[in-house]
Amino acid sequence: MLADKLYDAVNANGHVCVGLDTEITYLPEDYLKSFESEGEAIISFNKAIIDQTYDLAACYKVQIAYYEAMGLAGMRAYVETLRYLREKGCMIIGDIKRGDIQKTAGMYAKGHFQGDFEVDWVTLNAYMGVNDSLEPYLEYVDHHDKGIFVLIRTSNNGARDFQYMQDDTGKTLYTNVGEKLQALAEKHLAKCGFSGIGGVVGCTNNESGVALRNTVKNMFLLIPGYGAQGGGAKDVAPYLIHGNGGVVNASRGIITAYRKMGGNPLDFHHAARQATIQMRDEIWREIK
């Protein structure tokens, strides 16, 4: 099952999920000048990053919005990036954050688990109801070796607007969401003990992190917030179980690492490799 594959990838390569949230301004100016179009530059940039990190990363997260914003050229870059990741044997999270019901959700599932936009995992929002908005994806989880990461508690400051609201018993909304998702995850367990029903839990805003992890104990976690958003290895550790069960995303911190490391900007891919190694080792040291 897919969760077993991700579990094995973490054991082999570490916890880093490289985020290819590639905005055109992230590319070195001299690099960009060598291409006839921004779309071609994005494709080449992503491939260079992948070539230098695929032996270090557990998986890759590709945020579709960065490509949608470029129109058809951007979506071609998205497709080509996914294709290249598959050629390298990499596991892909399509960061699409869809959240609709029934027939529409079914179309999103088909669109991102089949065809040109096919990925291994997608990110989802269950605000419209766990059963209504997630059920159309479960066919792919059970029969097509796919997985979902559902928003539970996010890493942004605005998370407190709604996610921290409490019911009459003092239980937060994100805890209620986690409990419902855990019940669903238990029905889709892989051999490793984790599920193809995963959750998104930021490593910032991490009060009661251990309690939340105990609530969603069988869910593989996608953990954003590391690096540019202020999270570090100590913030990640509470969300891992025996050193596994989670992948930690870093996007800008890796793909724009050349800006902090100095040297020739055209060596951006080598800087990305060094940033990935540094992040991987920091997490390993913390959990060991």
Two tokens, residue 114: 């089949």
Cite the beta strand spans of 144-288 per DSSP E. 147-153, 195-201, 219-223, 246-250
Q: Is residue 74 within 8 Å of residue 23, measured between CB atoms?
A: no
Task: Say whether 97 is catalytic.
Answer: yes
- Residue among 5, 47, 97, 110 flagged as catalytic: 97
Q: Residue 281 corresponds to which tokens in the numbers above?
A: 């080792």
- 131-156 burial, b at 16+ Cβ within 10 Å, e below that, comes to eebbbbbbebbeeeebbbbbbbbbbe
Task: Report CA-CA distances (Å) from 196 to 4, 77, 173, 218, 221.
Answer: 9, 27, 22, 9, 10
Cross-strand bridge partners of residue 198: 149
Residues 6+ apart with CB under 8 A from 30: 265, 266
Residue 16: beta bridge partners?
Answer: 248
Residue 32 backbone phi and psi in degrees, to 5: -60, -35
**92-98 and 59-63 beta bridge pairing:** parallel
Are 28 and 258 a contacting pair, CB within 8 Å? yes
User: Residue for token digits 């996610």?
Assistant: 163
Q: Residue 160 half-sphere exposure, CB side, CA atoms within 13 Å?
A: 5
User: CA end-to-end span of the chain, whole Å?
Assistant: 27
Active site residues: 97
